[in-house]
Structure 1
C-alpha cells in the first residue's frame, strides 16, 4: 500500500489520548516526518462541559498526517495514557533518517531498547517519547517502499497467547483484510513456546503487526491508544460494533468500545467529521449534545441534530 493510497482511503486511524498536549505532539511529529502536516484542529465548546470537563476554546482533537498516513490526538485529560501495548513501527530508508527520528522523538522520553545492531535489524531502537507514545524505529530491510508507520499490537498479561485469535477476529470483521506471515516461538524456547513472536495482517488494506509478549509487563491495552474506524453507512457501524463487542467486549460512550482483548476502538461515521467541521457553533453544539447521549453512533440522529 502506498502513502497516497493511505491518504485517501485509510479506513482505520490510530487515535492517541493526551492530557492537554495533542496540538504540541502533532506539531512535534509533523516536524520530524516527511510528507506530514496538521490537517484539522477542533475545539471544545461549553456544550457538554459536565461530561468532558474541558474549558471552551481548548483544542479537542488534533488531526494530522505523518508520512501521508492519518492520525488523531485527543485532549481528554489525565484519565488515560498511551503505553507500549500499542506502538508504532517506523521503517526508514537510511541510517541518517533513523538517527534523526531517534534523536527527535527521544528528547525528553525514555529508552526501551537503545539504537543498535540487532538480529532483526542492523539499525533499530525502541523508545517512549515525551508524551508516552511508543515508537520502534528501524532501517527498512527491503527498499521497495510500502507503509512507513505500522501499528503494533502487543499481547501481554492475561492476553498472552491470544494474538492468533485476534488476527482471526479482526480479519474476519473488516473488508480488504488478510492474515500475513506469522512467526511462532519454537517449542524448545525457554519462554512461552508456540506464541506469536512476530506476525502481520492487513485491515482495509492497511498493515498491522502483532506479537505475544512473555515476561513481566506492567501495561496492557487501554483507551490511551485506540483505533478509529471510519464508516460510510449505519450497516457498517452496526456490523463492526456487534462483532467487536461480542464474546466479552464492552460498549462505552460516543462510539467507543473495547473488544474481548481490551483493545479500544472507535466506530465512527465519516459524516461526523464533515458535520463537526461546520463553522456554525450552534450546529457543533447540537452535534456534541446528541453524541454524548450515544453509545453506538446513529447516523440518522446525528444528521437530524445537525439540521436542528
Structure 2
C-alpha cells in the first residue's frame, strides 16, 4: 500500500529505456560493489527532486546484466515540502532526464497513479524481443553499431518454419520448470505464454548494402510474467531447432520434462540479444507510453479511476 491519503505524497508511473551493456542489470546494486544497476542512476537523479522522503523506484520487470529495455516501468513516490504542489508528470520526467548521469538511460514518460498502484503487481502483460542475425561467421562481420544488440550466429540460415512449429508447443498454460534457471524466487513455475513468434526483421539500419549476407530475425514472447531466464532458455531451444539440432516435437518433450538440467534446455542465449519491449497495465499502452489509455473498470486489482494525469486529454490518450 502507498502512503496515507493527505500525506502530500504523489505516486507516479514512469516508463524508461536503457541499453544494458554497461549495467549489472536494472536493479540497484547496494553497498560498495563496483557493479551498478540502472536503478542506481534513476534514484541518484531523483535526489534532485528534493523529496522529503528519499525516492525509491519499484521496478516492474527485472532484467539481467547486458539485457536492454525499449520500455521498462517503475513506480515512485515524491513527497514535496508543505505547501508545494505535486510535480506535473511532464516536469517530473524532464527533471529526471536532466539529472540522469548516464547517456544509456532515458525516461520516456510519467503519469500520476493512485497511491496503491504497484508497477510490478499491476502489470498484466510483458513482451520480450530477442534479436538474432545469421551469416555472422566472425564477430567482426557484425557492424560495430549492432554488437551487443543481437546474437550473431555463424549459420547462413535458420529453418524458421520448424522454429515456428516448435514455438506452438510453448503456447498456453504450462509448467515451465524446464526453462527456469536456478536462483528464481518464483514459488510456482506455471506460466501462461500468450504469444511466441519467429519472424524475419526487415533489416538493420546499421548494415551496409555490401553486408547483405546478414539476415536479422526477431523472436517475441508475451506473458503476464516470466521465470528467471525463461526467455533466453526458450530462445536457445528454438535456435537449436532452427539449426537442425532439435526437432520441433522435442520441444514438447522438453517442456513436459520440467527438468531444467537437460542437455538442450540448460543452454541460455546471450543476454545482449534480449530486449524488454513493453509492459502493459490492462488496457493501458506499454511500448508507446504516449498512448496510455484509461483502464477498464472491470479489470481486477486496478482502481476504477486511475487519474493518469499528463496534461491535455490527447496526451493522456483519452481521445
TM-score of the pair, normalised by structure 1:
0.28
**Which is richer in strand?**
1
Structure 2-normalised TM-score?
0.28
Larger radius of gyration: 2
Tell me which protein shows more helix as a share of its residues: 1
